Amino acid sequence: ELKVEQNPLFLSMQEEKNYTIYCNYSTTSDRLYWYRQDPGKSLESLFVLLSNGAVKQEGRLMASLDTKARLSTLHITAAVHDLSATYFCAVDRGANAGGTSYGKLTFGQGTILTVHP
């Protein structure tokens, strides 16, 4: 069974500092997604990572994927208050991994990020 683990689960940051959220998964996959959720809101797609070594950047966020280590990272540069939210990684096994996930994303527990002045 595919398991996805994020750490840390809680992250309190000061503005202008850098930090990284880690996402480990237990079985072969080359498709990983990052989502953001604001309190009481739905999930917003941030990044889609589809191959080993993939790196995507948007503003102060950068995501990368290492399929050999089964690890993705979400790096936050010079945090600002607007980045306060819960961040989820999700994995999709896909056909290449010997499974057919058909619409099933397996999510990590989420990392609650709070950015303080």
Partner 1 sequence: KAGVTQTPRYLIKTRGQQVTLSCSPISGHRSVSWYQQTPGQGLQFLFEYFSETQRNKGNFPGRFSGRQFSNSRSEMNVSTLELGDSALYLCASSLDTPYNEQFFGPGTRLTVL
Give the CA count within 13 Å in the CB-facing half-sphere of 88: 15
Q: For the window 53-82, what string marks contact with partner 1 as x by the rule CB under 8 A? A: ------------------------------
Nearer to partner 1, 49 or 79 (CB): 49
Nearer to partner 1, 25 or 88 (CB): 88
Does 98 bind partner 1 (CB under 8 A)? Our answer is no
Task: Give the residue, chosen from 12, 52, 109, 116, that forms a contact with partner 1 under the rule CB under 8 A.
Answer: 109
Q: What is the DSSP letter of 27?
A: S
Number of residues near partner 1 (by CB under 8 A): 26
Q: Computed from CA positions of residues 42, 60, 72, 14, in that sequence, does the dihedral angle turn out positive or negative? A: negative
CA dihedral 65, 38, 81, 73 (to 10 degrees): -10
